[in-house]
Amino acid sequence: MSQVYAATHTVDRRKIIEVAVGIMLHEDKYFLLTQRPTGKPFEGYWEFPGGKIDSGESVEDALARELYEELGVTIVDSIRWQIIEHNYPHAYVRLFFYKVIQWSGNLRAREGQSFIWQTLPVKVAPLLPGALTMIDWLATQ
């Protein structure tokens, strides 16, 4: 059953931004990274695809919407995996990570971003700090 989360909370008077993130897995060893576009905080950094959860939206719905908007794919099967919080200079975020193990549609950069399939060790840089934690956890799987 999907749980609906509020889009924001506060921590030490800072708003918590909740974000749905998909770790798209291909052939059990490759995962997709996307590059943050120009004009966004940490532009040019590599991350897992996803985005903010809208008020009243479930994490699963937000993830499905974001992957479709960003990459043109529809999630067929995913597994809720980890939740972490990260304090960036521009925002305090709660990241809901899902392993996306099956999708339909052809990947395309619908927002002009770059994307690349990677395996360990990751060959692109720089990586968004929140993504580094997940990459470390992937190494233990």
pLDDT, residue 1, reads 42
pLDDT tens-place string over residues 94-117: 999 999 999 999 999 999 899 999
pLDDT, residue 14, reads 74
pLDDT bucket at 88, cuts 50 / 70 / 90: very high
Is 51 in contact with 36 (CB distance < 8 Å)? no
- Check if CATH label 2.40.160.10 holds for domain 8-139: no
The region that residue 36 occupies, defined by phi over 0 for left and psi between -120 and 50 for alpha, beta otherwise, is beta
pLDDT, residue 12, reads 60
Is 138 in contact with 31 (CB distance < 8 Å)? yes
d(CA 37, CA 120): 24
d(CA 67, CA 21): 9
pLDDT tens-place string over residues 17-50: 999 999 999 987 899 999 998 898 999 999 999 9
Choice between 90 and 66, residue whose per-residue pLDDT is larger = 66
